[in-house]
Amino acid sequence: MTTPTATKPNSPAGPARSDQPRKVKLDSSEAVLRTVSHLGVGLFALICLLPFVLIVSASFSEESLILERGFSLLPQGFSTAAYELIFSAPRQIIGSYVVTIVMTVSGVVIGLAITSMTGYALQRKDFPLRNYISFFIYFTTLFSAGLAPTYLWIARTLGLRGNYLAVFLQLLLSPWLIILMKNFARSVPYEIVESGKIDGAGDFRIFAQLVLPMLKPALATIGLFTALSYWNEWYLSSIYLGSIVEFPPLQYHLYNIINTANALRNSVAGSNVALSDLPSNTLKMASAVVATGPIVLVYPFVQKYFVSGITVGAVKG
């Protein structure tokens, strides 16, 4: 189960529940509300799903039929030509995959280590500097230098233009996730810390051996959000990597395919040359499927941590 209902599967009681067997008349308003609710929720879920169906259908369509009739919900004809084209020269897509996976995995490991240490330390009531450091971190959400000064600093002064580190490092920590971790860590009873101290453990050992195992759900949630920010990253890449690196992160690679294929097609149409054999429409859609696929496949397994990220709430400084 995926929502907060998980904790109490059968308890939420509507008024028309069977534990009141004497209520003979099934209130007609209940039936209406239930029908409307099913229709409304079902319809909205369908609207959320349909665009994905559109993309997959289009990716398996025949380019000639797309040019003739346009995209539609069901594939126009059936062809795997676009996928064959992508995988006939897989160097590019494999390179982007490797870059993205390496960044995501190392970013999650390092980011989690730092976020959990900091979040834990900042909620220890016996840490005199906790309020100052908390505000030091929180302040970055209130005021920022803005894009251009940050760009000058990172690209010019630090010399990271065209360097994967410019993207990797900036995504490593988020003030929100540190605050979230701090709130998670509050749920660990202070007695745990005290018992560790009595046994002579230092603060780091208490954290690593006693507290961290209790923070597994928090680690899963924050790890997931970190992983998503790396996996879905295209923005920093567009600023700091541009066309300098051969293998841009996956989503920026997809971004380029959408925009450069567009440019290509426009230039061809503008000079009155017949459209080339490049199946640009289906190619774009197939690229979107290839770039998105894995994240949708893992989604069902990580969804509950995705939900707890928002329900833990209390994102305060």
Partner 1 sequence: MAVQPAQPGLELPTRGGKPTGGTTASFWRGMRHSKVLLLMCVPAIVFFLIFSYAPMPGVWIAFTNFNYRDGIFGSPFVGLRNFEFLAKSGQLWLLTRNTILYNIAFILIGNLLQIALAVMVNEIRSRYFKKVSQALMFLPYFVSVVLIGVIAFNLLNYETGTLNNLIVQAGGDPIKLYSMAGAWPFIIILAHVWQSTGYGSIVYFAAIMGMDQSMFEAAAIDGASAWQRIVHIILPNLKPTFFILLLFSLGGIMRGNFGLFWNLVGNNAQLYATTDIIETAVYRMLLSQNNFTSSTAVGLYQSLFGFVLVLVVNWVLRRINPDYALF
Q: Does 79 bind partner 1 (CB under 8 A)?
A: no
The residue type at 259: N
Taking CB under 8 A as the criterion, the residue among 251, 279, 283, 290 binding partner 1 is 251
Q: Does 67 bind partner 1 (CB under 8 A)?
A: yes
The residue type at 102: V
Single out the segment in contact with partner 1 by CB under 8 A; choices: 65-73, 79-87, 89-97, 101-109.
65-73
Return the residues of window 170-229 that contact partner 1 according to CB under 8 A. Answer: 170, 172-173, 175, 178, 183-184, 186-187, 189-190, 202-204, 207, 214, 217-218, 221, 228
Q: Does 165 bind partner 1 (CB under 8 A)?
A: no
Q: Does 271 bind partner 1 (CB under 8 A)?
A: no
Taking CB under 8 A as the criterion, the residue among 62, 81, 85, 234 binding partner 1 is 234
Do 219 and 180 meet the contact criterion of CB atoms below 8 Å apart?
no
Mark 31-50 with x for binding to partner 1 (rule: CB under 8 A) and - for no binding.
Answer: -xxx-xxx-xxx-xxxxxx-
Q: Does 4 bind partner 1 (CB under 8 A)?
A: yes
Structure-token match 């009873």, residue found: 189
Q: Does 237 bind partner 1 (CB under 8 A)?
A: no
Q: Does 246 bind partner 1 (CB under 8 A)?
A: no
Taking CB under 8 A as the criterion, the residue among 16, 101, 268, 278 binding partner 1 is 16
Return the residues of window 108-127 that contact partner 1 according to CB under 8 A. Answer: 114-115, 117-118, 120-122, 124-127
Q: How far is the CB of 238 from partner 1 (least distance, A)?
A: 7
Rounded Cα gap, residues 206 and 110, in angstroms: 20
Rounded Cα gap, residues 15 and 179, in angstroms: 39
Rounded Cα gap, residues 300 and 303, in angstroms: 5
Cα end-to-end span (Å), the chain: 31
Q: Does 263 bind partner 1 (CB under 8 A)?
A: no
Q: Does 162 bind partner 1 (CB under 8 A)?
A: no
| Count of residues near partner 1 by CB under 8 A | 134
* Ranges of H-type helices in the chain: 28-59, 63-69, 81-88, 91-123, 130-142, 147-151, 164-170, 175-185, 190-198, 203-205, 216-231, 235-236, 250-270, 280-311
Taking CB under 8 A as the criterion, the residue among 95, 101, 151, 161 binding partner 1 is 151
CA nearest 260: which of 245, 240, 277, 280?
280
Vertex 129 angle, CA 123 and 131, to 5°: 60
Q: Does 21 bind partner 1 (CB under 8 A)?
A: no
Vertex 136 angle, CA 111 and 228, to 5°: 30
